[in-house]
Amino acid sequence: METQYFDLRDTRRPGNETERIIAQAAEILRRGGLLAIPTETVYGLGANGLDAAAVKKIFEAKGRPQDNPLILHVPSAQWLSRCCEDVPPIAYELARRFWPGPLTLILRRKPIVPDATTAGLDTVAMRCPDHPVATAIIREAGVPIAAPSANRSGRPSCTCAQDVMEDMDGRIDGIVDGGPCTVGVESTILDLTCTPPRLLRPGGLPLEELEAVLGHVEIDKAVTSPLKPGEQPKAPGMKYRHYAPKAPVTVVTGGPEASAEEIARRLQPGDGVICFDEFAARFAGYTVETLGPKGDKSVQAQRVFDALRAFDSVEVGQIYAQCPDHRGLGLAINNRLKKAAGFHIVDADCPRVVLGLTGGTGAGKTSALKAIQALGGETIDCDALYHEMLRTDRPLRAALVKEFGPETFLPDGGLNRPYLGEQVFSREERLARLNEIVYAAIVPAVRTRVESGGSALWAIDAINLLESGMARLCDRTVAVTSPMELRLRRIMARDGIDEGYARLRIGAQRTDDYYREHCDLELCNDAAAPEEFEEKAKRFFEKIIETVKEEKQHGR
Ligand code: TXA
Ligand code: MG
C-alpha cells in the first residue's frame, strides 16, 4: 500500500491550500481508511471510530493485541452525550476546564460505539485533542476518530511524523505531518465510572490539576508498580510492557546529583545512559541520550520516547536512566521510563544495605528472613541458588566434572549425590576442593543478583556465609542463635523427630559460639512463638539498616 504524505506543518498557507489538504485527509477517514494524525501528545493512528471494519484495520497495521481498546477523538464535548451513557456532570466540568487537551475520560458507552473500538468493554475512552490540524480533520470527517498512538505495538510512541514513517510507511493510507508534538507523552486517562475517579495512566495533564478539581483521585496500581502474573489493570494497555529497548534498562531515581553518581558507579564499558543535559559530559565515552535540563519536565516529556527510541539502533550492554521526581509531568515520565525498565528501579537516595544471615538449624533463620521481607527486602537462599546452579550453570558443572569426573552427573543431568558424597567423605582436601569450586561460582552469582536487582535491602541466607567469602558482599553479618532447649523443641516439632535425633542434628553443626564469634552481630531467638521472634527481628534489623545507611551516606 502506498502511504500518502500530507504536509500541514504550516497551516497559514496562502489561499485554500490548507483546507484542500484537510479535506483530502478527512476523505481517507470517511471512506474507512487509516490516517496518522498529529495531536499535542503523540501521533495517533486514526480510523472512523464508529466503523468496526475500519477500526479492525488499526489493530492489523499496529500489530496491536485485540483486547486493548482505543480512544475516541472528538472535536468537542458535545460528542460525550452521543457516544456515552449516563454522563456525570463532573465529566462536563472536566471537559470545560481541560478540553481540548491531554485528558482522556472513561465513561459508559452507548451502543453506537462498536465492540471493535472498545475491545468489548462497556466503557469508552473519550478525548478532545488540542491540535488545530487534528481538530480540523476530525470535524471535517464528521465522525469520532478511534486512534491509538501511531507506533507499531511494542515500540515507543511517535512524537514526530518521521517516527510514524519509520513504523507505518506502507501499512496505512496516509500520514499528516503537523510538526513535532508539543507534549510528548500520551494523554492522562481518568476513569469516571468509579468513585473516587481513578487515574489509569498518568500523562500530559498532571494529576495535581485533576486533584484541584476532584479532590482525591485514586491511582491505579499499574501506574507505579509491575503487575503480578494474571493481574488485570483497569486500562488493558497498561499491562503491556509498551516499550522495552533490546538492552535491559535500569531507572535510577533520587536527586539528579545522587543518581548521576550512582550511574557512574555502575557503568561498564559499552553501556548506555539516558541523563539530564547537565550530566551528559560526565558520561563521555558511553552512548548518551539526553532527556533535557534537569529542571524542565516539559522538555523531558517531549524527549523521553525519542531517547528510548534512539537505543534501538545502537548496541549497548545495559541502559541506565535518570528520572525526575513524580510531581507534575514527572509522574508520566517516571511511568514511561519505569515501564521500559520493567520496573527495574534503583533509588540513589537510599543506599543499598546487604545483610548476611547464618546460623544452625532450628535457630530461627526462616523467621528472621521473613522479617527482612516484611521490611521490603529481598532474600537470597544460597542453598536453593546452589541447587539451581548445579542444574543450569555450565561453568560450575564443567568445573565439577573436571575435578570429580563425568560420574558427577547422572545421565538425566541431575547431580549424582551418592557418588560425590563418597568422593569427599572424610577426605578433607577433596571436600575443600569441592567447596572452592562451589564458592567460586556462587559468590559472583549472588553479587550480580544484588547489584542488578532493584531492592535497597537484601539478606543473604547461607549456612557457609563465613567460609565461602560471601561475607565480603555484606555490610553486616548476623548470627542467628537460640538457647539449646528452644532449638530442640523447634526441630522436634518441625521435623517430627525425637529429642535424641534432634540433639544429633544440632551436634553435627557448628555451635552458636562459633557463629557468635565470627559474625558482626548476634540475633538471639529466645521467643516462644515464631511471630514474636519475627517482630523482634524486625526491630533488630531496622536499627542495623539505619546505622548502615547513615555510615554510607556520610562516607560518600
Ligand atoms: O495521547 C493519547 O492518548 C494518544 C493520542 C494519539 O491521542 N493515544 C493513545 O492511545 O495513547 P493508545 O491506544 O496508545 O493508549 C490508549 C490507552 C490504552 O492503555 C487502553 O488500554 C486505554 O487507553 N483504554 C482505552 N479504552 C479504555 C477503556 N474503555 N477503559 C480503560 N482503558 C481504556
Ligand atoms: Mg500506545
Q: If you take atom 32 of ligand 1, which residue's CA is the nearest one?
A: 235
Cβ–Cβ < 8 Å for 267, 273: yes
88 close to ligand 1 (CB < 6 Angstrom)? no
- Centre of ligand 1 from the C-alpha of residue 231, in Å: 19
Each of the 556 residues of the chain gets a pLDDT tens digit; together they read: 899 999 999 888 777 899 999 999 999 999 999 999 999 999 999 999 999 999 999 999 999 988 999 999 999 999 999 999 999 999 999 999 999 999 999 999 999 999 999 999 999 999 999 999 999 999 999 999 999 999 998 889 999 999 999 999 999 999 999 999 999 999 999 999 999 999 999 999 999 999 999 999 999 988 988 777 778 888 888 887 667 788 899 999 999 999 999 999 889 999 999 999 999 999 999 999 999 999 999 999 999 999 999 998 899 999 999 999 999 999 999 999 999 998 888 888 878 899 999 999 999 999 999 999 999 999 999 999 999 999 999 999 999 999 999 999 999 999 999 999 999 988 899 999 999 999 999 999 998 888 777 788 999 999 999 999 999 999 999 999 999 999 999 999 999 999 999 999 999 999 999 999 999 999 999 998 999 999 999 999 999 999 998 887 765 4
Q: Quick check: CB of 42 below 6 Å from ligand 1?
A: yes
Residue type, 555: G
Measure 201 CA to ligand 1 centroid, in angstroms: 9
> Ligand 1 centroid to 299 CA: how many Å?
23
Report CA(311)–ligand 1 centroid distance (Å). 25
Query: Containing H/E element for 461?
Result: strand 457-461
Amino acid identity, position 387: H
The finding on whether 187 has its CB within 6 A of some atom of ligand 1 is yes
CB 193 within 8 A of CB 204: no
Sign of CA dihedral 243, 247, 248, 249: negative
Sheet strands (E) in 245-394: 249-253, 272-275, 287-290, 319-322, 345-347, 353-358, 378-381
Q: What is the DSSP string of 325-339?
A: -STTTHHHHHHHHHH
For ligand 1, say whether the CB of 502 is within 6 Å of any of its atoms.
no
The answer to whether the CB of 223 is under 6 A from ligand 1 is no
Q: CB under 8 Å to 434, separation ≥6 — which residues?
A: 400, 403, 404, 420, 423, 424
Say what the pTM is: 0.76
Q: What distances in angstroms separate CA 504 from CA 347, 408, 488, 524, one per listed residue? A: 46, 29, 10, 21
Ligand 1: does its nearest atom lie under 6 Å from the Cβ of 148?
yes
Q: How many helices (H) and strands (E) does the chain have?
A: 21, 22
Q: Is 69's C-beta closer than 6 angstroms to any atom of ligand 1? A: yes
Closest ligand 1 atom to 201 CA: 19
How many whole angstroms separate alpha carbon 190 and alpha carbon 210? 9
Reading the block at residue 369, the C-alpha cell is 528472613
Query: What residue type is assigned to position 411 of the chain?
Result: P
For ligand 1, whether the C-beta of 182 sits within 6 Å is: no
Kindly give the interhelix angle for 499-507 and 484-495, rounded to the nearest 10 degrees. Answer: 110
393 vs 217: CA distance, rounded Å: 48
DSSP 237-265: GGGS-----SS-EEEEES-HHHHHHHHHH
How far away, in angstroms, is 322 Cα from ligand 1 center? 26
- Which residue's CA is the closest to the ligand 1 atom numbered 15? 148
The pLDDT of residue 226: 79
Ligand nearest to the CA of 58: 1
10-18, long-range: CB within 8 Å, 24+ apart, which pairs?
A: 11/132, 11/133
Question: If you search the block for the grid coordinates 472498545, which residue do you land on?
Answer: 118
Identify whether the C-beta of residue 72 lies closer than 8 Å to the C-beta of residue 49: yes
